[in-house]
Chain A
Amino acid sequence: MKVCAEYEDQITAFTAHRAILDKGADPEDIELRSPYPLSEHPIPPHRSKPMIMRNVVRLMWLCGLLGGFSFLTFTQWEWGLTAKTGGQPLVAVPINAIPMYECGMITAIIVTTIMFFVETRRYRQLVPALEEDMPVANGYIALVVSGDSAKKAKEWLDGTNARSVVSFVLPLAITSFLMTGCATGNLRYQQVIKPGEAPADMPAPTSLRMPTAAEQEVKPLQPLGWLYYGDQLAFERAEADFKRQEAELEEKVKNKQMKRKDVNKQLRKMRRDLDEYKPEILLYKSGVPSEIRDAKNPVPYDEASKKRGAELYALNCAQCHGVTGKGEGAVGAKWGGPEVVPHLGDAAKYGDESRYPDGFFYHNIIVGKNLMPSFGYKLTSREVWDIVNHIRELQGK
């Protein structure tokens, strides 16, 4: 059995609480329940177990930091790519401070939540009785007495300015346990090449970087204006199609097979479709601008430049134009060999410097041409000139 008295404000509730304690109620049996934190905490000393939440959170925060740090550091040495760096970590250790910090914080947050539920759990039933909850839901403070003290509580509480005092029988607490299982066994392990066992002929690491001072000295020729945006070939094909169909339709009008109005409507639609194909800026349609074509190569034709050029050529061009510049690269071969991908090493054609000056190559590399992509966004000017020097070398200059 339980007795539940309802109070409008804190002061009367505290007074009643003290009053029934004086009358000999067992402090263990009394519970004050309120819709907001009370300004005093009338918790009997043996029940107010010290809160350990704060200390646990502190400790776990530290564990989170250290755990995060050790995990991140571990990944640095276990990284497959460290084979390329000769066993050096890929990320400078101080950088780990940032993810490590977040590790500590997220641990603290989760531990706070867990501690909150764990610590309040012992004051709970899974579903409290509605009679007990109603006064609190109505905005009042409830003094709930249970156990042995409950038998006399009703008369003790009658004179304490309570709004109402009710007694009721405790319903069965419903408890359920959820069984959870962990699916294990879907982790497979494969034999891999460990760092350190990497083949010796692995190429040296390269990555995107800032241009060095020497590189910055070779300035771009001029801001090249707008990117050639769109597919010129596709547009030309579509344009030819359009002309053919237009002629056919005109023919039909002439033979009185179709009405002028319908044909015009159809033509309008077709013209709109064609516009979709139109490359947005056709600045370079007319070829290489003469200022670039006639520019002198500012990078001297020396061993150092040719060597740099060879490396860059191998990285950027060889897959299409081939190592020897015959258009025999893997991609180039797939596209149809020298017929599609020009034979850059051809001394007879491209070696003719009056027809194909250095500026011609410079321009083509930077802006690209039809199927060939543009390299303006990833090569610095000096690198482009280095490649030009290497092409000259291929041509046997």
Chain B
Amino acid sequence: MSHENLNFRAAECSIPEIFDAVFEPIGKSGWKSNIVLTICGLLILGAAIAFSGQLYYGIGQTGLHIPVYWGGYIITFVFWIGVAHAGALISALLRLCGAEWKSAVTRVAEVITLFTLPAAGSFPLIHLGRTELFYYMLPLPNNRLLWPNFKSMLMWDVFAVSTYLTGSVLFLYVTMVPDLGIARPRMKGWIKTLYTILSWGWRGTAEEWKRVMEAAALYSVIILPVVISVHTIVSWDFAMQVVPGWHSEVFGPLFFVGALYSGTAAVFTMLGLLLWTYPGFKKVITQVHYDMLGRVWLVLGLAWAYLFFNDFVPAYYAHEPDKMDYLYYNGFGPYAAACWFLVIGNFALPLFCLAFQEFRRSIMPMFVLSIIVNIAMYIERVFIVIPGLEIYNGLNFNTIPYTYSATEIAIIAGTFGWSIGGLTLFCRIFPILPYWELAETKARQVEVDMAGVKVAYFQSGE
């Protein structure tokens, strides 16, 4: 990790050393991850209790009431869906672009998707109130000749989220098969059995590699449009309603880019934690990875800032009455503090900091920034859902403002427990860094001496 060398290089250690670094955490437990797992387990338990309470007593346990009929659950749903977009962007888009440096971060991103997407998907079900009837949403033949309402945006969510979930799980699995097959002989105990079963007799012959690359390319091509459709459809949940602050044409791209922005932030949070827990990873995740991904993050931040302002600048220009009410309520009403935190935490701070290479290359500041951005992104989702409903004056009366109830807080905290705990457990059982991709990058790197400077370039792959 030298500062002078700014062009990207593969890990600065041999392929067997990469193996040792990547598979070091497998099957081991440490106090750090034990504490995290205990806390996460307690959170999940709390959520289970709160949820059974909600099932028993009904949806009145939440703070929801007319006209604020969408609250914490939907906000957190949108938030998790956003974080789950990291997987698609980083592994699919970068894979298609043939960016060599993607190899260190692809699986981290995919695994984030693996755990946050079920967390997201559970919220509409919890929000149903009568969750036991969720199967009404599946197009099953039934003896009353009733089908789901295909006109409903929440129905489209079911289709989109389940497609994305299937896609990302299979994508993750198929690209992990080679790793499991390769590592199998060197694992011990039940992990060896697990790897043997999951790797399906992987042998690593040229024919198989060809197919794994082909499948990965196909998944990437399929997943990218799916992921766009997922968040666009989630944005339609709002944009198709006639509520001030919701009914906006720019919501599709705004949600999508915002999701990528917060997803990338989540990847940085995860990378920071990984480097803290497993210092051995520092050999393979270098400052150059941070720099490159930081640039992507910066661009996404800029794009998101543009779309965000694009959402209300036309309304402001035209002084559209409903939207102006909404804007003043946001900026100078009861939520003013949160609103200005959003502006600082999402635009001013990150866009300024990320412009500096020194900042992008330092692990700790990037970690802190990623957390600030994700908090601000959560607040942004609050702003999308709540104020529009609270000031919705098409009805004959207003009602008391919405607050999260204890049940909602417990369930939301439980999904955080699930995601973080799941990621921690995954790191202990499966390789969180894609060994074969790192090895491939290493094997393809050729270094030449150019006027005394060592320059790395990569032989093209297929």
Contact = CB atoms under 8 A, between A and B. Distances in A.
A136 B459 contact: no
Interface residues of B, number: 80
B348 interface: no
A81 B201 contact: no
Given A34-B209, A35-B15, A41-B210, A112 B397 contact: no
B146 A106 contact: no
Contacts of B185: 130, 133-134, 137
Contact of B186 (A98, A115, A137): A137
A192 interface: yes
Interface string B374-413: 0000000000000000000111111110000000000000
A109 B159 CA distance: 14
A95 B178 CA distance: 41
A223 B397 contact: yes
Nearest to B186: A137
B461 interface: yes
B214 interface: yes
B46 interface: no
Interface stretch (A71-79, A326-334, A342-350): A71-79
B184 A81 contact: no
B219 interface: yes
Interface string A189-220: 11010110000000000000011000000001
Contact of B145 (A127, A128, A192): A192
A223 B393 contact: yes
Contacts of A99: 150, 155-156, 159
A136 B182 contact: yes
Most buried by A among B149, B162, B178, B201: B201
A47 B174 CA distance: 23
A389 interface: no
A20 interface: no
A376 B215 CA distance: 56
A41 B204 CA distance: 12
A38 interface: yes
Contacts of B196: 127
Contacts of B459: 39
Contact of B214 (A51, A124, A188): A51
A9 B184 CA distance: 21
Nearest to A114: B170
B423 to A, nearest CB: 23
Nearest to B201: A124
Contacts of A379: 396
Given A192-B144, A376-B396, A33 B443 contact: no
A12 to B, nearest CB: 12
B207 A123 contact: yes
B71 interface: no
A139 B211 contact: no
Nearest to B16: A139
Contacts of A116: 174, 211-212, 214-215
Contacts of A220: 396
A59 to B, nearest CB: 13
Nearest to A113: B170
A112 B223 CA distance: 12
Interface stretch (A225-233, A293-301, A302-310): A225-233
Contacts of A98: 150, 156, 159, 229, 233
Interface of A: 9-10, 31-39, 41-43, 47-48, 51, 53-54, 57, 71-72, 75, 78-81, 90-92, 95-96, 98-99, 101-103, 105-106, 108-110, 112-113, 115-117, 119-120, 123-128, 130, 132-134, 136-140, 188-190, 192, 194-195, 210-211, 220, 223-227, 229, 280-281, 366-367, 374, 376-377, 379, 381, 384
18 contacts: A37-B210, A41-B209, A47-B207, A99-B156, A109-B222, A109-B223, A120-B208, A123-B205, A126-B200, A128-B202, A128-B203, A136-B182, A137-B186, A138-B16, A139-B439, A367-B397, A377-B395, A384-B396
